[in-house]
Structure 1
């Protein structure tokens, strides 16, 4: 597992590294940890190859929240844990789907709970592919690339980060395939990947792509609960 610690404070960053070493020893795990003392340095190097990022919010230059927005544009699956001196900043974690936050000075017990939560987040974001057939033949779609899926008469439309794919199929059967994955139905005939939800409103859901999809009154409570559970109760 690859872990990044991004914090302009040498002392705070070293505390996280020490805790990671203790956690490894206690659980017989192996982490590859790298420390960055500026978010710009981290973003310059980042290519989607980290599993968990401990990210300080208050840094000079590009702060942690700005860095997290850019990270999310590149990678929906990485686990982000904010580290901050002020708890009120933590609410911003909703916007970038942070797993959780820790308030400095961080204690080991709190740290270990957040790291275990990151493991659960990673488990729910494991890559999985589905196969569909259309006029071009058999197409493989990576589930994590799907923003949402909707029914159009006898067809299913898969809206992904790379475009739209269309195939004949049953929404009921496809929902069964996605049952254990982070998807939830926002209205009859439309299922959203919770990784890409930016905001759940009164009667709509806003995606990270700024697209707004209608949220039915009948499904609103369940959708909101699915999203809260997905976020780990943040």
Structure 2
């Protein structure tokens, strides 16, 4: 399911964009959840990286789309932004906030669907290398390569990442399955390591980003084999 935000102060264009999204959903066989906002100020107030695509009007009364996009990029570098504007020169500034594209008013479905298809392609490529987890107060999207390791404590999963620590609920078994296509190894019932960040093994511990983490006795040999294979792939 795609989560799309419409940030547009004119009700006419809000309704038109919702109508176009419904048609796109039917044409492409996608499932889309749409949330609408009437101003950039309202939108960024509780923004928590919860959307895949943002359709953002450039000119709004309280906070314009460009300023809102700058605030969004401080907390979410991945969401796809498409500007909606009646002046092409505003859209050019969108490159400063890594906007994917822009749609000119008045909006035609053909132009809109082309740009939305491009946004969906980027989103799906991005999802191939990301994981979305629920955290207190919302959700966050983590880049797979930013994850150092995951620790299980009861029903909690604690992600140690380049951006800091994130806690969610779930089981290690489910997470292990979700990350099975990446270079992760479960060296202990309570730890899942990203081999990309393993520096080596020290006696009975894996050294991950300089931190020593336990590897169970039965897992030591397969862990070393997995690590050696990963390093071999990296130097081919």
TM over 0.5: yes
Distance 1:174 1:42 in 2: 42
Aligned to 2:144: 129
How far 1:121 moved relative to its partner? 1.4
How far 1:129 moved relative to its partner? 2.2
How far 1:15 moved relative to its partner? 0.8
Structure 1: segments with no counterpart, 5+ residues: 134-139, 146-155, 158-164, 177-234
The question of 1:3 aligning with 2:18 is answered no
Structure 2: segments with no counterpart, 5+ residues: 131-142, 150-158, 165-195, 198-208, 212-230
Aligned to 2:79: 78
SS in 1 for 2:97: coil
Aligned to 1:119: 120
Distance 1:112 1:66, change over 3 A: same
Give TM-score, length-normalised by structure 2: 0.57
Aligned to 2:20: 19
Aligned to 1:100: 101
How far 1:6 moved relative to its partner? 0.4
CA contact (8 A) 2:148 2:161 kept: no
Distance 1:173 1:41 in 2: 48
Give TM-score, length-normalised by structure 1: 0.57
Task: Provide the aligned C-alpha RMSD in A.
Answer: 3.2
The number of equivalent residue pairs is: 153
Distance 1:175 1:93 in 2: 39
SS in 2 for 1:12: helix
Distance 1:142 1:172, change over 3 A: farther
How far 1:120 moved relative to its partner? 1.6
Farther-moved stretch of structure 1 (39-48 vs 64-73)? 39-48
CA contact (8 A) 2:52 2:123 kept: yes
Higher relative contact order by CA 8 Å / sep ≥ 6: 1 or 2? 1
How far 1:123 moved relative to its partner? 2.3
Distance 1:15 1:93 in 2: 23
Distance 2:235 2:75 in 1: 27
SS in 1 for 2:6: strand
Distance 1:112 1:144, change over 3 A: farther
How far 1:86 moved relative to its partner? 0.3
Distance 1:72 1:174, change over 3 A: farther
Distance 2:26 2:67 in 1: 33
How far 1:45 moved relative to its partner? 2.6
CA offsets per residue over residues 25-49 of structure 1, 9 Å max, x none?
A: 1122211101111111111132111
SS in 1 for 2:123: helix
